[in-house]
Chains A and B, each alone.
Chain A
Amino acid sequence: MNDQQAVQDHLRQLVGSNDVVLFMKGTTQFPQCGFSAQVGQIMQLIGIEPTQVNVLDDMGVREGIKEFSNWPTIPQLYVKGEFVGGCDIIREMYEQGELQDMLDEKGVTRAKTALA
């Protein structure tokens, strides 16, 4: 995707129509970056299967998401259309139980097999 406006519209549609969207390098199965891998693991631990967007597949999305979120790095997590943060923030929230609480409060379904 090249047209910048089209990318921004696509991203808005994507985060607006999926409960949990994870922009990452690689996939949760085959992450291509340690920070993306960490967030993928946390998702698994708390029983969330996010909609995954591998930014390495699309240069337009890779640059566009930075502009969209006003956030310069990957990974990035969105819940119910709202930007939550990158790796450090997700990890801190997870360790303090805030991530799980936030997801439950927003009514996002978590797998019953969740470990945390």
Chain B
Amino acid sequence: MSLENEIRTKLMIALEPTRLDVVNESELHAGHRSSPGTGESHFRLIVVSPRFTGVSRVGRHRLINEALAEELKGRLHALAVHAHAPDEPITQ
């Protein structure tokens, strides 16, 4: 399974999001030092989930990090995260 699909599947199960964008930005980081150059190393997420309601910013990121713990130890090198509750505006 591609890393993108793996991320999508795990977040769908863990957070039951009402919106989930998984954007592969690996190309933007291809040249920099310590970048793995695998083409699937850097991702940006927009996650809207009722699970985030009443949860702090750090708490939201931790929920995502926990769901993707295995990937973050391996192929997933960097993750940009926008995590919102359903009634909040989306920032990018």
Say whether A92 contacts B57, CB under 8 Å: yes
Give min CB distance, A63 to chain B, whole Å.
Answer: 11
Give min CB distance, B73 to chain A, whole Å.
Answer: 8
Say whether B34 contacts A32, CB under 8 Å: yes
For A, the interface residue count at a CB cutoff of 8 angstroms equals: 20
Say whether A88 contacts B34, CB under 8 Å: no
Contact mask for chain A residues 41-60; partner B; CB cutoff 8 A; 1 contact, 0 none: 00000000000000010000
The residues in A between 1 and 36 inclusive whose CB is less than 8 angstroms from any CB of B are 25, 32-35
Give min CB distance, B67 to chain A, whole Å.
Answer: 12
For B, the interface residue count at a CB cutoff of 8 angstroms equals: 18
Contact of A35 among B34, B73, B78, B91 (CB under 8 A): B78
Q: Which residues of A contact B23 (CB under 8 A)?
A: none
Interface residues of B (CB under 8 A from A): 29, 32-34, 57-58, 61-62, 65, 69, 72-73, 78-82, 91
If A35-B78, A86-B61, A92-B91 touch, whether A72 touches B32 (CB-CB below 8 Å) is: no
If A70-B62, A72-B72, A93-B57 touch, whether A88 touches B32 (CB-CB below 8 Å) is: no
Say whether A34 contacts B32, CB under 8 Å: yes
10 contacts between A and B (CB under 8 A): A33-B32, A34-B29, A35-B78, A72-B69, A73-B78, A83-B58, A88-B82, A89-B57, A89-B61, A95-B91
Give min CB distance, B47 to chain A, whole Å.
Answer: 12
